[in-house]
Structure 1
Amino acid sequence: MTPYVSAFDPTDPAAQARAAAMRARIERLRALEARAAAVSAQAAPVFHRRGQLLPRERVGLLLDPGRPFLPLCTLAGYLQDQADPERSVPGGGLLAGIGFVAGVRCMVVASDSGIDAGAIQPRGLEKILRVQEIALQNRLPFVHLVESAGANLMKYQVEGFVLGGGLFRNLARLSAAGVPVITVQHGSGTAGGAYMPGLSDVVIMVRGRSRAFLAGPPLLKAATGEIATEEELGGAEMHTAVSGLGEALAEDDRHALGLAREIVARTGWQAPEPVAAPEPIYAAEDLLGLMPQHHREPVDMREIVARIVDGSAFLEFKPLFGPGTVCLQAAIGTHPVGIVTNNGPIDVPGANKATHFIQWMCQLGAPIIYLQNTTGYMVGRDSEQSGMIKHGSKMIQAVTLATVPQITVQCGASFGAGNYGMCGRGFAPRFLFSWPHARTAVMGGEQAARTMQIVAEAGLARKGLAIDATEVRAQLQAQSQAIERNFEAQADAFYTSGLVLDDGVIDPRDTRAVLRFCLDTVREAERRTPHPVQFGVARM
């Protein structure tokens, strides 16, 4: 394959304006992530007085220095815990990501106990359920650094209690699948939180700090009248010497993390050395100026692909048929991949081409990358009469039933059923990331507002009311503006990421590195040989 010949001029004023807007969004993203770290760090005096490490210090010591780490769902909970964008703290009360521990690629999750004592937040629950699913799909040892006050009883919601059972179900599923579950109990684990070590394969506890009990002293006294100390009920020494809940007793956080690294090393699942791959011939910096701020502005997604794939080279599949849907074969980090992306709405030929291409990639065993940038499936009389519904449905079936790993990046618009046909969150891609300018909605805000205005006007006409009356026109205008504001606010990538509808917002310049990391993870999972057991490893 010969390299793609780019027509992009990074010095063009329009490109520079796009790049400036994208940089502003990236700065906002980094500021939000830094906010969570800063709020957590405010607890440093308390942690240090107790001889403990802060959550981010724990993660840093657990991971291999100098090896890549892929944070996941860093904006979870943004604008869900607090409507004010300047006060909302993202992260869901958890740190999570894929990194290397003693040379083994692992899923690492840590309670952010510097915030609300590590209490589980609603979106934090969704976040941990999501990363557990990623760990199970990709056979990643699950290393859990626990220090949590459990559920926040001041903000109790019954659905959190009921759905929270999925957290423990997933721990059992991981263990039964032969994927190691290793817990370091840095602090408290009360009630449901006590089942986190209880459903782990190996548990490390810290002398004088670890606590795990179904009912702490206050609840015990309230429920039975019995009075007992925390150490008697669930201290580290009791659990490692009497109950058997813990396997190892550490003297402090550092010692505990060192033991965790030794245990992970003994799995024998060390990752192979990375393979050299030809870099794109075009600069990743160009990606900032290529993607427009608004979905109405066109972009040739081949220009995006040329800055992501090995050697900027790809082979296009059916380039003259359904050209608004672009299907390419390429390599990323030497991994052969199929790429499906959009240079416009998905029409009937485009849907058929994508269906053919997805099945072709399944036959080859090549993972499929979806670079979303679509306003959806084509509408109109000609499109409907050509069978858009049935042909779009075939594409959705192909995505649903694909036998190879699928990874999605929402680069621009992700509207309507185009979100489905391009492997949106509801179709369980192995990973899904968003660019800062990405927009996700059933349709654009302007389109939604205009649609509802037409419906309202038709309703008024049926009732014989004057549509042109000043008061009526003002009401319709106010309704349209409210609908558009609502759609635009919810379509924003930061908002949807706060709902855990992706695995994180990424800098476009990092797209190649993120995709290569994910493809390495997928390939490694295929090569690992877990040893499933019927019921998981039971505590003895």
Structure 2
Amino acid sequence: MSVLCARTGFLIKIPSLYLAHGSLNTQAARPFPVISDTLNTTSAQAQDARARATGLITELRAQIETCVQGGGEKGIARHVRLNKKVLVRERIRRILDPGTELWELCTTAGLGLEYGDVPCGGTVCGVGRIHGSDVMIIANDGTVKGGTFYPITISKQLRVQEICWKNRLACLQIVDTGGAFLPLQSDIFLRGGRGFANQALMSSQGIQQVALVSGLCTAGGAYAPTMSDVAIITHRIGNIYLGGPPLVKAATGEVVTGEELGGATMHCSVSGITDHFAKDEEESFEITRDVVASLNLELTSELDSSCPPLYDSTGLEQLAGQTQMLKPDVYALLGRLLDGSRFLEFKTMFGESLVCGFGRLSGQLVGVLINAGNITGADAQKGGHFVQLCDNRDIPLVFIQNSSNSSSESVDASTLKERAKFIQCQSIVRVPKVTLNVGGAISDENYTMCGPSFDPRFYFMWPGARLLKSDPAVLSDEPEAASSKPRKQLSEYKFESSSAAWAAARTLCDGIIAPGETREVLSRAVQLGMLHHTPLRDSRGQSRAAIRM
């Protein structure tokens, strides 16, 4: 179709693609072409895929519920009735702004471990909004083995601190711990000390550290409030000391109470370790909110929800249940994630497997890379070029890993070299990177597609996704190591070592997300990544130029 230009008098041809999806004015307001939906939702294979996905999601919900329950009925009863303390999730709820929720990370950490189940890793962690500002919260769950630190507790805390540091989020620790689990102390103390170093280093860079002492801070746990910029302590239930009353009696014979040795009155009036005295937990929540309000943090804006995808998100469950996601499925996935299902593809005709392009997530411009199988030499060349363009324009990157095809075929030297260039380019970009594993990450596609080792701000997985060192066909031929003595099963769970559940249990990923929640989670991750990102448009030259490899 052609229209007459009022200024020049010439006829201008308008592509039918734009006319099919609204007026020219609408298209100008919302750039990028609309992705066509080719997903077959009525076939028998589609029904089987949805059934498989439903089963995976049901398993995930059960694991999350186990972790939300913490120490179970006995642990909750001891915490509430005997110790007269508020449950950890209720503490967080009362501190957050009314009507907001915790964006939780690493929820299923601690399940299926060699030394048993530690629901949630013994800590509830996530990003929440206090007086309009996003704050990272790390809260010990006193119902899980008395708040004791296990190796997984350390792993989760260090990963969450890394997220906090990279995204420059103020950190609030709600401390209620009895210290380390001594039978596993060799795996705890040295790594655990890194958490205190992180507090000092973040504080030195202006990333505020706040502690609320709502229980015991024993042994190494005593350093969490001591290393914070501001510390609040609750009367009667909050104690801070390296060795408690039993140790004092054993060492000196002196009988002393916890309150006398390291209670709120002593630390607020004598040692000066804590800065604010709360007479009870309710007042401690109010003081904590006031302290965060005094940090002079940047307010977080609301995400733009005015332009949802055109296609039903239930199709994501079908895609998640498929054994293989081919290139047409990749476009169906993007059409269910991006604003208005609009996507500007980069180098459409170059490269077989890698799809790159620009779209928006809840109003935020992002560069998306998703593969449908092996990364070829041309794919790697395209990917390296694309990530440099995004870095040059200060556009955050979203990597979607989908290596469900076989990767056992041989790779020539040229392809290997191009992959290395791609890895180099994506490793050194300044812009935030967020990675989602939907089908699998196999072999060196853990490197090219920004796996956990390459500093994504967040790394998430779908329930059926996998992390593999090599092709499954190769793995199946490897003999299993013989065990001289069968181990006693200490956990209720047993996960396959390549599964998302196994990775999440060990904090190799930041959470397993249900397919229907993908757009919301990615939007929030990109928002947090860009919250304190500093654009660098004024620095040009070789260091900022996109190089055509």
Distance change >3 Å, CA 223–CA 397, structure 1 → 2: farther
Displacement, 1:44?
A: 3.3
Structure 2 residue identity aligned to 1:72: L
Displacement, 1:98?
A: 0.7
Displacement, 1:35?
A: 1.1
User: For the Cα contact (< 8 Å) 2:106–2:156, is it kept in 1?
Assistant: yes
1:289-335: per-residue Cα shift (whole Å, max 9, x none)?
02344348776211111111111010111111112111111111121
Displacement, 1:38?
A: 2.4
Task: Spell out the pairing of 1:53-92 with structure 2 (5 A cutoff).
Answer: 53-81=86-114, 88-92=117-121
Aligned to 1:403: 430
RMSD: 2.3
Aligned to 1:504: 511
**Match among 300, 305, 309 for residue 271 of structure 1:** 300
Aligned residue for 1:80, secondary structure, equals coil
Aligned to 2:465: 438
1:370-407: per-residue Cα shift (whole Å, max 9, x none)?
000015896656x415x122111111111111121110
Aligned to 2:164: 135
**Match among 39, 44, 50 for residue 13 of structure 1:** 44
Query: C-alpha separation between the residues in 1 aligned to 2:313 and 2:176?
Result: 39
Displacement, 1:64?
A: 1.7
Query: C-alpha separation between the residues in 2 aligned to 1:296 and 1:37?
Result: 32
Aligned to 1:465: none
Aligned to 1:427: 454
**Match among 504, 521, 535 for residue 528 of structure 2:** 521
User: For the Cα contact (< 8 Å) 1:342–1:374, is it kept in 2?
Assistant: yes
Aligned to 2:84: 51
**Match among 357, 363, 369 for residue 386 of structure 2:** 357
Aligned residue for 1:157, secondary structure, equals helix
Task: Spell out the pairing of 1:111-150 with structure 2 (5 A cutoff).
Answer: 111-150=140-179
Distance change >3 Å, CA 378–CA 93, structure 1 → 2: closer
Displacement, 1:9?
A: 2.4
Q: Name the TM-score, length of structure 1 as normaliser.
A: 0.86
Gaps of 5+ in 1: 454-474, 476-486, 529-540
Structure 2 residue identity aligned to 1:399: Q
Displacement, 1:505?
A: 0.4
Query: C-alpha separation between the residues in 1 aligned to 2:76 and 2:119?
Result: 19
Distance change >3 Å, CA 291–CA 273, structure 1 → 2: closer
Deviation larger for 46-55 or 93-102: 46-55
User: For the Cα contact (< 8 Å) 2:38–2:328, is it kept in 1?
Assistant: no
Query: C-alpha separation between the residues in 1 aligned to 2:282 and 2:78?
Result: 17
Aligned residue for 1:186, secondary structure, equals strand
Query: C-alpha separation between the residues in 1 aligned to 2:268 and 2:381?
Result: 61
Structure 1 residue identity aligned to 2:384: T
Aligned residue for 2:158, secondary structure, equals helix
Displacement, 1:77?
A: 1.6
**Match among 360, 366, 369 for residue 331 of structure 1:** 360
Query: C-alpha separation between the residues in 1 aligned to 2:105 and 2:495?
Result: 24
Aligned to 2:132: 103
The count of residues paired between Structure 1 and Structure 2 equals: 489
Aligned residue for 1:491, secondary structure, equals coil
Structure 1 residue identity aligned to 2:234: V
Distance change >3 Å, CA 163–CA 119, structure 1 → 2: same
Distance change >3 Å, CA 275–CA 291, structure 1 → 2: closer
Query: C-alpha separation between the residues in 1 aligned to 2:409 and 2:46?
Result: 33
Query: C-alpha separation between the residues in 2 aligned to 1:41 and 1:488?
Result: 22
Aligned residue for 2:59, secondary structure, equals helix
Is residue 2:256 matched to residue 1:228?
A: yes
Gaps of 5+ in 2: 1-31, 483-493, 536-549
What fraction of aligned residue pairs are identical, expressed as a percent?
33
Query: C-alpha separation between the residues in 1 aligned to 2:68 and 2:469?
Result: 34
**Match among 34, 55, 62 for residue 24 of structure 1:** 55
User: For the Cα contact (< 8 Å) 2:402–2:438, is it kept in 1?
Assistant: yes
Distance change >3 Å, CA 490–CA 501, structure 1 → 2: same
